[in-house]
Homo-oligomer: A and B are copies of this chain.
Amino acid sequence: MNLANSKPCVAFERHDHRDCQHQLMSAAKALCAKRNTRLTRRRLQVLEILLQSHQPMGAYEILAHINKAQSTQLTPQSRKKTINRGALQAVAPPIVYRALEFLLDEGLAHRIESKNAYICCVRPGHQRAAQFLICRGCEKVAELERHDLDLLTDAARVGFTVDSSVVEITGHCADCGKNAS
């Protein structure tokens, strides 16, 4: 299956998310294999957490997921130990931030600047900068891909060389717009 050609998921549109997750996970593995970069257990875990929804998650929210999983996966003995050691057992922030750094570098996740949060990329392998539609109702985020000619023309006009761009549009998606406004 050629994932690069499959239609990108628009978060607001109803879709089989289970399928969506699997496709994106496969694509991620394939990409890292091709690039010879290491999608390790931790990085995979963070990606899996991000893939659970099309809603951006804060780093500490991701951390909480990991710690919850951590405590669930314990044997009775080690669970007891963990409880005795209290919060010290928990995974710490740098773990998450480093995994996120990797995923961002590989284009497997994006940072939503206006929310200090992170979201899975629905077009892994497409290096072009993306634009985001952020719904304030359902909190889902859709990823678009445009060339933004208007803006880039303006930038060029003043002699500006573009390295990267952040485009985040906040509002209400079709469904939430009906109910909200």
Contact = CB atoms under 8 A, between A and B. Distances in A.
Interface residues of A, number: 38
A144 to B, nearest CB: 5
A92 to B, nearest CB: 22
A165 B160 contact: no
B174 A158 contact: yes
Given A113-B113, A113-B114, A151-B146, A162 B169 contact: yes
A27 to B, nearest CB: 22
Given A150-B148, A154-B146, A168 B113 contact: yes
Q: How many copies does the complex hold?
A: 2
B168 A155 contact: no
Nearest to A175: B159
A166 B169 CA distance: 6
Q: Is the interface of A mostly helix, strand, loop or mixed?
A: mixed
Contacts of A97: none
A164 interface: yes
Contact of A160 (B149, B155, B167, B169): B169
B151 A174 contact: no
B168 A172 contact: no
A133 B154 CA distance: 10
Contact of A161 (B113, B160, B162, B177): B177
Contact of A147 (B150, B165, B170, B181): B150
A55 interface: no
